């Protein structure tokens, strides 16, 4: 599945491995493109794209609470949940935060530190 065709976490339930791999590649490329344009956190986000897709496919979104080791690892998570326009708005005045934020619907707010140890 192409990232441009992805609409909701429910889309993940019926994807086969080839479709999941295609989605992961597109999501990884979106992270690379965003980081090249805005100097974001590349390594930590590339490391977690596949895991994010897998977690959302198997555990969903509405009834699970995800906490990332460092909050800015949430780029892919935000894009895959209710914030499909994350990459288009993240570095704008009214856009999304690069970190997990309760005000955006995340279960926790955090930053550069290891909030998962708390």
- Domains identified in the chain and CATH numbers: 3-117 (3.40.50.970)
Residue 118 DSSP label: -
68-118: pLDDT as tens digits: 777 778 888 888 988 878 777 877 888 888 788 888 888 888 776 666 554
1-17: pLDDT as tens digits: 999 999 999 999 999 99
**What are residue 53's phi and psi, to 5 degrees?**
-60, -45
Helix (H, G, I), strand (E, B) or coil at 83: coil
Packing angle of the helix pair 49-59, 17-38 (nearest 10 deg): 130
């Amino acid at each position: 599945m192409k990232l441009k065709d992805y609409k909701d976490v429910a889309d993940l339930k019926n994807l086969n491995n080839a479709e999941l791999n295609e989605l992961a590649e597109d999501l990884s490329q979106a992270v690379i493109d965003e980081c090249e344009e805005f100097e974001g956190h590349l390594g930590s986000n590339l490391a977690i794209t596949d895991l994010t897709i897998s977690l959302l496919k198997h555990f969903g979104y509405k009834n699970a609470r995800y906490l990332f080791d460092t909050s800015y690892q949430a780029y892919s998570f935000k894009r895959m949940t209710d914030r499909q326009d994350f990459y288009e708005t993240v570095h704008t005045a009214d856009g999304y935060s690069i970190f997990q934020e309760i005000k955006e619907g995340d279960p926790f707010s955090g930053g550069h530190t290891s909030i998962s140890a708390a």
